Amino acid sequence: MFATRIEDGSIRRIIIRPNRSLTWEQTKIVYFCIASYSLAIAGVFAVMGFWPVLPFAGGEIAALGIAFYVNALAGTSVQVVTVGGDVVKVEKERPGPRCEWLFQRAWARVDIDGPAGHGSSRLVVRSHGKQVVLGEFLTETERRRLAATLAEVIGTGSPAGARRIHEAERLQDA
């Protein structure tokens, strides 16, 4: 996760991104190395008379290419939380349409829903029946840290949500 906290006067912005181990150029290089190696082996078998290997190798390379592309595309998603004045603005830019939510800062709550010990939880910003889930791609530890940071930046949080956030931090430290 890359979370960047930017403070510009009264406006605070948190940018959340998934951790990408490879750039798009590096991903293409890895893919072409694997594809060329696989095709070389399939070519050797085809020359030996086992030509039915070629369509299976081609299908395997196509499936691998699709998986690499989908993974790289998912790595481009960005979530931005902007807190300024009395407004909390959450933007999600992911593959597909850009979504935006506006919350009144005084009523916005940061909560962690789900298991406190084991399993996966959800980090939610909610107000007046609207809610948005943040950091779906984060690890549990990163999600808890982000929840604490958001609660601090927004300046409010439901007592139950704050209790769950502090409980999770205590469990993490133990």
Query: Taking the domain 2-20+76-173, which CATH number applies?
Result: 2.30.29
Task: Output the pTM of the full model.
Answer: 0.70
Taking the C-alpha atoms of residue 95 and residue 78, their distance in angstroms, rounded to an integer, is 10
Residue-wise pLDDT for 106-147, tens only, equals: 899 998 887 655 667 888 999 988 999 998 888 888 888 888
The domain limits of the chain are 2-20+76-173, 24-74
Burial class of residue 128 (count of CB atoms within 10 Å of its CB; 0-12, 13-18, 19+): exposed
